[in-house]
C-alpha cells in the first residue's frame, strides 16, 4: 500500500508500538497527527520525523481515558484542517491483580481507554473514509484477546472486544474501499510492562515494536481481518480451538499468576 501524502492519526504515539507506527508511516511519506498524554515525548518525536522525512507532524496531547476526550480531539483535528486517512488505535494499558482487590476507578479507566476510545475514534473518522471510499483503520488488540486471562481479567476482556469489533468492522467495510485490521501482539519490548508493574504478566520471548508494525502493515496490504504477530504467538492463539476451555483458562492463570499474594493487591504504576 502507498501512504504518501496521506495523514495518519496514531494514538499512544509517544513510545513503543505507537512510536514505531509513526516512524514507519513517516518513512513511507505519510503526514502524522500524534496523540498521547506526554507533550514532551510527542514533540521530540515530531521534530525528529519532520527533520528526517520532511512530513508534516502535528502534536495533540490528549488523555483519551477522560470522558469527552475524543470529541475534543476531533474538534482539534478539524481546526488544523486535517483529514484522517489512516487511524491507528494503539493507546491502551493493563493492570495486574485480582478484580476484588483492584481500584474500581482504575479498571473503569482501562475500559474507557482500551474500549470506549477505540470505538469513539473509529465512529468519528470512519464515515468520512467510507464516503471517500478509501482509508485504513488499524486497531491494536493482543494475544490476550483469544482467551480469558485471570489476574488480568479486564485487560483480556477489553482486547477481546477490540478483536471482535475489528473483525466485524472488516466485514462491514469490505465493499467501501476502507481497510480494517486488528493486529494482535504478544509480549513486546515496550514500556507496557513498566505500567503493568509485574514481570510475570509478560509471557514468552518479547518481540520488537518494529516487528509488530511490519506484521501489521503487511497484513493490511493483504486485506485480512486480523493478524497475530510472531509465529510462536500465532501457535499459542490456536490452542483455544484444540484444548478444553477450562484447561486454557487454567494455563492462562498459572502463566500470569502473581508471584506473591502481596502483588495481587499492589496497584499498577501510572501509565505514561
Q: Are strands 226-228 and 178-184 parallel, antiparallel or unpaired?
A: parallel
Is residue 115 within 8 Å of 91, Cβ to Cβ?
Answer: no
CA distance 8 to 31: 6
Residue with cell 501457535: 235
Residue with cell 488488540: 141
Collapsing DSSP states into helix, strand and coil, what is residue 102?
A: coil
Q: How far is CA 75 from CA 7, 79, 124, 180, 205, in A?
A: 16, 6, 11, 24, 41
Choose, from 93, 146, 155, 193, the residue flagged as catalytic.
Answer: 155
Q: Are strands 86-89 and 178-184 parallel, antiparallel or unpaired?
A: unpaired
155 classed as catalytic: yes
What are the cell numbers at 30?
A: 505519510
Triad 216, 139, 200: Cα angle to 5°: 85
**Which of the residues are catalytic?**
155
Amino acid at each position: 500500500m502507498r501512504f504518501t501524502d496521506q495523514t495518519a492519526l496514531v494514538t499512544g504515539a509517544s513510545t513503543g508500538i505507537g512510536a514505531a507506527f509513526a516512524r514507519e508511516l513517516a518513512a513511507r511519506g505519510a503526514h502524522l497527527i500524534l496523540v498521547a498524554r506526554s507533550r514532551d515525548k510527542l514533540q521530540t518525536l515530531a521534530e525528529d520525523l519532520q527533520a528526517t522525512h520532511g512530513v508534516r507532524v502535528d502534536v495533540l496531547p490528549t488523555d483519551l481515558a477522560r470522558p469527552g476526550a475524543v470529541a475534543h480531539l476531533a474538534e482539534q483535528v478539524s481546526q488544523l484542517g486535517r483529514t484522517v486517512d489512516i487511524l491507528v488505535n494503539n493507546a491502551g494499558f493493563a493492570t495486574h491483580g485480582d478484580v476484588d482487590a483492584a481500584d474500581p476507578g482504575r479498571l473503569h479507566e482501562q475500559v474507557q481507554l482500551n474500549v470506549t476510545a477505540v470505538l469513539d475514534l473509529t465512529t468519528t473518522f470512519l464515515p468520512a473514509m467510507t464516503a471517500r471510499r478509501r482509508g485504513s483503520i488499524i486497531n491494536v488488540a493482543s494475544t490476550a484477546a483469544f482467551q480469558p486471562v485471570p489476574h488480568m481479567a479486564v485487560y483480556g476482556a477489553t482486547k477481546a472486544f477490540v478483536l471482535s469489533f475489528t473483525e466485524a468492522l472488516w466485514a462491514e467495510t469490505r465493499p467501501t474501499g476502507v481497510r480494517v485490521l486488528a493486529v494482535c501482539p504478544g509480549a513486546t519490548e515496550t514500556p507496557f510492562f513498566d505500567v503493568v508493574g509485574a514481570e510475570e504478566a509478560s509471557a514468552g520471548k518479547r518481540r520488537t515494536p518494529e516487528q509488530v508494525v511490519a506484521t501489521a502493515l503487511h497484513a493490511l496490504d493483504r486485506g485480512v481481518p486480523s493478524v497475530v504477530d510472531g509465529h510462536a504467538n500465532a501457535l499459542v492463539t490456536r490452542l483455544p480451538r484444540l484444548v478444553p476451555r477450562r484447561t486454557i483458562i487454567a494455563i492462562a492463570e498459572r502463566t500470569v499468576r502473581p508471584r506473591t499474594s502481596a502483588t495481587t493487591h499492589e496497584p499498577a504504576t501510572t501509565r505514561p
